[in-house]
Amino acid sequence: MADGPRSLVLLGPPGAGKGTQAALLAGSADLEHVSTGDLLRAAIASRSDLGKSIQATVDAGRLVADEVVAQLVKERVALGRGLLLDGFPRTLKQADMLDALMLEAGLSLPGVLELEVSSSDVVKRLEARRTCAACGPRPGGETERCGQCGGALTKRADDAEAVVLERLRVYQEKTAPLSQRYAGQGRLFRVPGSGTVEAVAGRVLEAARKAHEQGMERGG
Ligand code: AMP
């Protein structure tokens, strides 16, 4: 097993706060933050061939092909640092691919932190979610201007209500089963995701510590 902090997966429905919490945790845990959603949006914005082929899928709230997303993650695994995976894996097949990639790279299997938020809270949060070009995702409550820099806010196309409902349906069908799989393997840590960003961040940090200790005990 490689030295250093254990890689982590942040699991949870869309709108659970994975991106916000990952950004906070990545610094304190010295992990490389990898958001497959951000990587896919960057590919779409660049109008690359990959971007053009995936835009309709993302806008409809469906999942991009396992092989395409795994390739994006593989490029990051190659860096050899512990990863903080935000939005990957989302299917059982992706979970298998991730374990294979980590073992191949000599990295320990990730611990998994599951952010638990109810479906009704998720719908409310995504309805309120806006992004600032300069400051990134904003927590809600601001509709037009960023409270931090005054810049214009935009709403993600896939945060429209009908798409959110589809994303939740897909989550229940394809991603929720991962929780049971990881619990069965003894590497799942559940984190209540309601409350302020700071309160959740404290719980996430504590769970990350436990996952790290467990990784050290197992030696991998
Ligand atoms: P996110 O920013 O994590 O909510 O992801 C936004 C969208 O990108 C998702 O609704 C999917 O269309 C796509 N996506 C992100 N991660 C994955 C993944 N691991 N597998 C398949 N599609 C993904």
- Cβ contact 64:58 at 8 Å: yes
Ligand 1 centre and the CA of 62: distance in Å? 8
Ligand 1, atom 1: closest residue by C-alpha:
37
Q: Which of the following is catalytic: 6, 76, 138, 167?
A: 167
Q: How far apart are CA 190 and CA 116, in angstroms?
A: 7
The pLDDT of 14-25, averaged and rounded, is: 93
**134 Rama class: left (phi>0) / alpha (psi -120 to 50) / beta:** alpha
- The residue whose two tokens read 């990952």 is 22
The 10s digit of each residue's pLDDT in 105-138 is 888 899 999 999 998 899 888 888 898 989 887 8
Give yes or no for residue 37 CB within 6 A of ligand 1.
yes
Q: On the CB side of 148, how many CA atoms lie within 13 Å of its CA? A: 12
When the candidates are 2.70.170.10, 3.40.50.300, 3.30.1490.110, 3.40.50.360, the CATH number that belongs to 6-117+175-218 is 3.40.50.300
pTM metric for this prediction = 0.91
The reported pLDDT for the residue numbered 220 is 54
Give yes or no for residue 5 CB within 6 A of ligand 1.
no
Dihedral (CA of 33, 132, 18, 155) sign: negative
Tell me, yes or no, if 81 is annotated catalytic.
no
